[in-house]
Amino acid sequence: MEQFRTTFEKMLRTRVPLADNVIRYFLDRRGKQLRPILTILSAKVLRGTVTDETIYGAVAVEMLHNASLMHDDVVDNSAERRGMPTINRVWDNRVAVLTGDFFLAKCLMCSNATGSVEISRILGRMVTALVEGELEQLSNARSHLLSEDAYFSVIKGKTASLFSACLQIGAHSVGASEEEVQKMGEIGEKIGLIFQIRDDIFDYFPSNAEIGKPTGHDIMEGKVTLPLLYALQQATAEKTKQIKEILSLNRELTESVALELVDFAKQMGGIEYAQACMKKIAFEAKQLLHTFPETDCLTAFVRIVDYFIDRSH
Ligand code: FPP
Ligand code: MG
């Protein structure tokens, strides 16, 4: 991680003071850096070591992750991230989009620095899936499509694709076989699904400073996530119809309506259902992980899977 941090910092140097200010501001509340950690762990689980390719690969995924958050806050018109005002709030949409572009460009440069055509291919496929997931989410919200299949398709694209790419890149960077890369990709997809389901559950509870989002924010935006989808399947036909009508009003819902829907999802056991889904996927991910040699790195990896379910921010 020290090597990762040094390269990450080096890649972010810019001659433009505005860019530097925005970058410093955003990175001041650094995230958990789960994606580079996972990229490195994938390499270490397979070969017990990392290469320069692993480090540039880890920096590339972190750059892309940051780019996607900056763009996402413009797309979602969000006011806060990680408990701080977003770039689009402190500056404006133009600054947020362009700084996101800057990070995207740095991802391309890191991809190039790995010298691996295969890693570029993994990154290219992942960014496509990420953007398609976001567009699919918008499209589902517009057409009020409420199904678990549609939900899983969206989160596979917008979140799981990045985790899958991290593990594939880590594996590829140490010369893993095609089969190993593919298996790591599958594990990454599963933990990415867990990550997003957990993220979506946060929306049903008052948030802490690290998350910095009001309860019911997703629902207000028309994003119907797993707990509420489950509740809609369980409720009486009449109740379901009533809620679908509320959700298909073509305007942003008020906070009090969103909070009512949050309560309804909870009463119907939506949170427990989403938690059970995460546990089932975690079990599958761990089964795949245990096909690799039992080392300390593997133990750390398995603990990260549990952390993804239990995390508080
Ligand atoms: C957070 O989801 C956002 C994502 C998982 C991905 C966003 C991706 C894009 C906007 C495409 C970016 C494209 C390029 C080329 C960089 P969320 O809104 O559910 O979660 P949040 O609570 O963290 O905002
Ligand atoms: Mg968002």
pLDDT of 229 > 90? The answer is: yes
| Between 78 and 4, the higher pLDDT residue | 4
Q: Where do the structural domains in the chain lie, given as residue ranges? A: 2-191
Centre of ligand 2 from the C-alpha of residue 118, in Å = 30
pLDDT of 232 > 70? The answer is: yes
Mean pLDDT of 9-32: 95
Atom of ligand 1 nearest to the CA of 213: 22
Q: Left if phi > 0, otherwise alpha if psi is -120 to 50, otherwise beta: which for 2?
A: alpha
> Which helix (H) or strand (E) covers residue 85, if one does?
strand 84-85
Centre of ligand 1 from the C-alpha of residue 284, in Å = 26
Q: Left if phi > 0, otherwise alpha if psi is -120 to 50, otherwise beta: which for 77?
A: left
Residue 105 phi, psi dihedral angles, 5° rounding? -60, -40
Centre of ligand 1 from the C-alpha of residue 28, in Å = 19
What is the per-residue pLDDT for 210? 64
Return the structure tokens found at 219: 């629902």
- Residues 171 and 180 sit within 8 Å (Cβ to Cβ): yes
Question: Which residue matches tokens 């006011």?
Answer: 79
Query: If pLDDT is split at 50, 70 and 90, which confidence band does 6 have?
Result: very high
Q: What percent of the chain has pLDDT over 70?
A: 98
Question: Which residues lie with the beta carbon below 6 Å from any ligand 1 atom?
Answer: 67-68, 71-72, 75-76, 78, 100, 104, 127, 130-131, 134, 158-159, 213
- CA–CA distances in Å: residue 82 to residues 119, 160, 181, 186: 30, 20, 32, 29
Average model confidence (pLDDT) across the chain: 95
What is the per-residue pLDDT for 208? 64
One-letter amino acid at 180 equals E
* Range 2-191 classified under CATH 1.10.600.10: yes
What is the per-residue pLDDT for 61? 98
Query: If pLDDT is split at 50, 70 and 90, which confidence band does 148 have?
Result: very high
pLDDT of 214 > 80? The answer is: no
Using CA atoms, how far apart are residues 122 and 240, in angstroms rounded to an integer? 41
Ligand nearest to the backbone CA of 159: 1
